[in-house]
């Protein structure tokens, strides 16, 4: 019997617009050092690269050095703050839940493959009300490897009950596209996420601008 098709999503910048909670947490951390707050416009493009990168940029914007011991402490402080404020102003992108339900109704397996810590990913998906739709959720600390290592994506597919030969990835960054390419899995890029360059420049199989376009785009790719 042929396995059910599987669609795997990135989380931040793909399923949910998380920057409006990430940046306030960054600012609460750096304000303790009397630094000027940063904006979502400044930090958004690098937010897909993780907390350390966002904090380093915040210090660069303030023209201040950030020694490693202080950076490590900032990361810890950020994680505590973000845990309690993970879904204050975060929202799903328009059409997200509708398209997830569409795939679900058409007997697709759904999963999330994110470089967010797994407990935070699960908490955010729960608070957004969509966690039950996913057959697998994996994060940065689920395995000894993570995106762009292809094993992260392949394991997420397998945990969902799917097969990599009948799977597709959806993401918003170069990391997501590299992960899919490394796994030999087709990839759809959303152009409304967090990226320093237009995501189309990283050569996904196709790019969408709204989730109303996703089901048709995936159907075309899977042919």
In the numeric block, the tokens 């493959």 are attached to 113
Q: Which pairing describes strands 16-17 and 91-92: parallel, antiparallel, or unpaired?
A: antiparallel
**178 conformational bin, left if phi > 0, alpha if psi -120 to 50, beta if neither:** alpha
- The pLDDT of residue 90 is 98
Write down the mean pLDDT value for the chain.
97
Which one, of 9, 2, 1, 3, lies nearest residue 158 by Cα?
A: 3
Name the active-site residue from 10, 12, 21, 176.
10
CA dihedral 30→21→215→196, nearest 10 degrees, is -20
Q: Name 17's Cβ contacts closer than 8 Å, sequence gap at least 6.
A: 90, 91, 92, 93
CB 201 within 8 A of CB 173: no
- In tens, the pLDDT along 20-79 reads 999 999 999 999 999 999 999 999 999 988 999 999 999 999 999 999 999 999 999 999
- The pLDDT of residue 223 is 85
- The pLDDT of residue 60 is 97
CATH class of 6-17+90-222: alpha beta
**How far apart (Å, rounded) are the C-alpha atoms in residues 175 and 147?**
7
Query: What's the length of the chain?
Result: 223
- In tens, the pLDDT along 103-142 reads 999 999 999 999 999 999 999 999 999 999 999 999 999 9
State mean pLDDT over 9-19.
97
Can 10 be counted among the known catalytic residues? yes
On the question of pLDDT at 1 being above 80, the answer is no
On the question of pLDDT at 168 being above 90, the answer is yes
On the question of pLDDT at 3 being above 90, the answer is no
**203 conformational bin, left if phi > 0, alpha if psi -120 to 50, beta if neither:** left
**How far apart (Å, rounded) are the C-alpha atoms in residues 60 and 188?**
33
**Greater confidence, 156 or 1?**
156
Strands (E), the chain: 6-9, 16-17, 91-92, 109-113, 136-138, 167-171, 187-190, 206-208
State mean pLDDT over 140-145.
97
pTM for this entry: 0.96
On the question of pLDDT at 151 being above 90, the answer is yes
């Amino acid at each position: 019997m042929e396995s059910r098709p599987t669609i795997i999503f990135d989380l931040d910048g793909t399923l949910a617009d998380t920057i409006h909670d990430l940046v306030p947490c960054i600012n609460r951390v750096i304000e303790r050092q009397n630094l000027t707050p940063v904006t979502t416009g400044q930090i958004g493009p690098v937010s897909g690269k993780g907390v350390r990168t966002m904090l380093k940029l915040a210090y660069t914007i303030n023209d201040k050095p950030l020694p490693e011991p202080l950076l490590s402490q900032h990361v810890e402080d950020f994680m505590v703050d973000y845990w309690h404020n993970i879904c204050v102003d975060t929202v799903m992108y328009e059409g997200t839940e509708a398209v997830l339900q569409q795939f679900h109704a058409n007997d697709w397996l759904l999963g999330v493959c994110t470089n967010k810590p797994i407990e935070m990913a699960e908490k955010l998906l729960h608070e957004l009300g969509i966690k039950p739709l996913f057959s697998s959720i994996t994060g940065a600390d689920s395995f000894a490897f993570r995106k762009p290592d292809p094993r992260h994506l392949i394991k997420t597919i397998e945990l969902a009950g799917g097969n990599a030969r009948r799977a597709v990835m959806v993401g918003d960054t170069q990391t997501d596209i590299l992960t899919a390419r490394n796994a030999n899995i087709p990839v759809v890029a959303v152009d409304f996420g967090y990226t320093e360059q237009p995501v189309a420049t990283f050569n996904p199989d196709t790019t969408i601008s709204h989730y109303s376009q996703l089901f048709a785009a995936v159907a075309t790719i899977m042919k």
